[in-house]
Amino acid sequence: MIRRTVFQALPLAAALMLAGLTACKPAAAASDVVKLPAPTVDTVKTAQGDETAVLAGGCFWGIEAVFEHVKGVHKVVAGYSGGNADTASYEQVSDGGTGHAESVRIQFDPKQVSYGSLLQVFFSVALDPTELNRQGPDSGTQYRSVIFYGNDDQKKIATSYIAQLTAAKSFPAPIVTQVVPLKAFYPAEAYHQHYFSEHPDNPYIVYNDAPKVAHLKQLFPALYQPDRQVVEVQLH
């Protein structure tokens, strides 16, 4: 198994060559990606205020990058969900025995983008939902795909959408994405936040994650937003 730490340590050319020799699936060409149908079950919110979605699908760097480029999304945080607070650290989660999945918390305006639209993006460009406990070069339960629902509406939309995609045979293999209640979300270490924008030349990012953002722009031009400066203020 080639972990992303290996890619970080290699020059770009060497890392790309190594990636091509491994069993990991290369990023799909632009002509191969398909925009999945919108969910037939969705919720249109008219109330003021943001809502939150928590999703997991492999390395959180790429999932975070995709949703940071979606209009209506105000903030994305990389972190851990599925396990306990005392094991919510990168070193422990990387061992695969904590119950955590590398996840992202998405703060979005439901008047600009619906929860169902976020799931449409998730399944279309952010991951391969047929891979069990892995994504690309990363394997282990910490890389499983999960929709952590925060309420009954999110559960209904998620389960209905998976059933819709399954009935339409949208993928060549069964969807293994879990739909489970959100118990807690724990932000990851500071150096993991906005990793895509902070390290665009990292070989892992170039090979595995940049194509996801490119596919988002290609398939969802009305939802795509370019890079924007992220300013975070910490009070001490």
Mind telling me the catalytic residues? 59
Q: What are phi and psi of 158, to 5 degrees?
A: -65, -50
Residues 85 and 59: their CA atoms lie apart, in Å, by 20
The encoded tokens of residue 181 equal 């209640």
Pairing of strands 178-181, 51-57: unpaired
**Cβ-contact 145, 81 below 8 angstroms:** no
How far apart are the C-alpha atoms of 3 and 20, rounded to whole Å? 14
Which residues, in sequence order, are CB contacts of 153 under 8 Å at separation 6+? 43, 115
Amino acid found at 33: V
